[in-house]
Structure 1
Amino acid sequence: MTLHTILTPEWIHEAKLISAENPRLEGFVPSEGGEDPRILLLGEAPGDKEVKIGRPFMGPSGKELDRWLASLGLTREDIYITGVVNSRPFSIGKTGRKRDRRPNQAEVKRSAPMFDWELAHFPDVLLVPMGNASLQRLLGNHAKIGDLHGQLLEQPIQQYDQATDSFVLTKKSYRIFPLYHPSYSKRFKNMKAVVDADSQKLKELLTR
């Protein structure tokens, strides 16, 4: 399997700096995928396992992703994976151990220029945000995965404007197909039929 990252040494240096300057972030996991991906898979942020290995979707979540891709007739060479944040956001639990948490708005903005650059690198590839964090990064906080999952959208997406420290909409429209995370049906058994139906819609979309 031949996977690569499109990130330049400059972007990698910047991403490591973002992690180093924030005591509530750790590690850096570069985006990766095939050279000619059919979909751009957008996650939230890496977890403990990903940070230790240095690659996205490792451990149980990685096995679940690979099974899901196989059901679509795809491998990791057919996709490109990135996240809203490329370091692990964590909090300290009552036991003193680190726990994954959702990145806050300041962290999302800090990583936004690189995320925007990555999406611009694949202007015509189908965007597949998995869950609310990546969906809302694209469309704004009003967007909910529960409302939009399994639908093909064609619309502008948010891009970070450093001059105003805010998100603005692109002039270009992107194709977007929001999905629940593949592991969602493992945690919520009653959602399996919904998750499977959405996956079937995506498979049909990719064969058009």
Structure 2
Amino acid sequence: MSQDRQLNNAELLSVLDWYRAAGVDLAVGEEPIDRFAQIPPAPATLPQRAKAMQEPGQTAAPAAGRAMGGDPGEARKLAASAATLDQLRTILEGYEGCSLKFRATQLVFADGNPEARIMLIGEAPGAEEDRQGKPFVGRSGQLLDRMLGAIGLDRSSVYIVNTVPWRPPGNRTPTPEEMEICLPFLNRQVELVAPKLVMTLGGPAMQTVFKTSSGIIKMRGKWEKVSIGNHDVDALPTLHPAYLLRNPAAKQMAWRDLLSLKQKIDGLGPG
């Protein structure tokens, strides 16, 4: 086969799908671009603080940032300082301690009603979420909307977040280090919303919230009291909508979980 053969439309689409899955989201232009020059400098707060604490003759500790990875202790302090969701969002927009931020288009903070009694927690933003800045707006988000509608809910009656607020390259699963550095912000988000019920979507979100290494198939459908930050809440793990798109037969299990959620909501009474 000649290597110079013109690809047909189906082959070109396959190549584009492969690039997208690999995390490529920008075409190469005619002129070179210095990407390092485009990255804004990190806030001076952390380096200045390290310099202020430096003893004579010592070398300052590296600031939390993309080179060395973030400091979980610093993330906890920043998250705890947020008195409102708006403040927490502002802190995250300026935070430089998670390397995912430098490959993502924008922060994906939350969607829905912050006054809702039900919170949904997913894994991480995908490509469409990264473009729009909202969680669950792609194909899996459309399925999630239909799932909620089947039990009388919509986005005005739930609050939707992810365990990490920036898209991992190629839609890969966040690493344990990325999850750890973002966990204080998730915890504070839950504390500020103070939901009555939580539903986790998919294995990574379930493992983070339930503090377990068990698989989602084993855990799904079972209510458990969990502590997220300083907030205690009844939580139910279920399958991620993206998994249901790949495995339609599993929708039966997800439907049972939704009915369990509906029963729990009814038990809360009006409000």
**TM > 0.5:** yes
Q: Which residue of 1 aligns with 2:90?
A: 12
| 8 A Cα contact 1:16 1:28, kept in partner | no
Kindly report which structure 2 residues correspond to 1:90-105, keeping only aligned pairs within 5 A, or say none: 90=169, 99-105=170-176
| 8 A Cα contact 2:89 2:109, kept in partner | no
SS of the aligned residue for 2:199 comes to strand
Determine what percentage of the aligned residue pairs are the same residue: 27
> Which is further off, 75-84 or 107-116?
107-116
SS of the aligned residue for 1:129 comes to strand
Instruction: Find the structure with the greater CA-based Rg.
Output: 2
Matching residue within 189, 192, 198 for 2:251: 192
| 8 A Cα contact 1:45 1:85, kept in partner | yes
- TM-score normalised per structure 2: 0.61
- TM-score normalised per structure 1: 0.78
Q: Which residue of 1 aligns with 2:265?
A: 206
| 8 A Cα contact 1:50 1:58, kept in partner | yes
Matching residue within 147, 168, 175 for 1:68: 147
Gaps of 5+ in 2: 1-83
Residue identity in the other structure for 1:8: D
Gaps of 5+ in 1: 1-5, 91-98, 160-169
CA shift digits 1:170-196 (9 cap, x unpaired): 6x6321111111343331133222122
Kindly report which structure 2 residues correspond to 1:38-53, keeping only aligned pairs within 5 A, or say none: 38-53=117-132
Query: Is structure 2 residue 253 aligned with structure 1 residue 144?
Result: no
| 8 A Cα contact 1:15 1:86, kept in partner | no
Q: Which residue of 1 aligns with 2:235?
A: 176
| 8 A Cα contact 1:129 1:178, kept in partner | yes
Residue identity in the other structure for 1:128: M
Q: Which 4+ stretches in 1 moved above 6 angstroms?
A: none
How many residues of Structure 1 are paired with residues of Structure 2 in the alignment?
A: 183
CA shift digits 1:16-58 (9 cap, x unpaired): 5348754764121111221421311000110110111111111
CA shift digits 1:112-147 (9 cap, x unpaired): 221110111133421111111111111224233211
Higher relative contact order by CA 8 Å / sep ≥ 6: 1 or 2?
A: 1
> Which is helix-richer, 1 or 2?
2
**Deviation at 1:200?**
1.6
Kindly report which structure 2 residues correspond to 1:101-140, keeping only aligned pairs within 5 A, or say none: 101-140=172-211
For the residues of structure 1 that align with 2:243 and 2:117, how far apart are their CA atoms?
23
Residue identity in the other structure for 1:189: P
For the residues of structure 2 that align with 1:67 and 1:21, how far apart are their CA atoms?
34
Q: Which residue of 2 aligns with 1:54?
A: 133
SS of the aligned residue for 1:207 comes to helix
Distance 1:22 1:32, change over 3 A: closer
**Deviation at 1:156?**
3.3
> Which is further off, 175-184 or 24-33?
24-33
> Which is strand-richer, 1 or 2?
1
| 8 A Cα contact 1:150 1:202, kept in partner | no
Q: Which residue of 1 aligns with 2:7?
A: none
For the residues of structure 2 that align with 1:120 and 1:56, how far apart are their CA atoms?
19
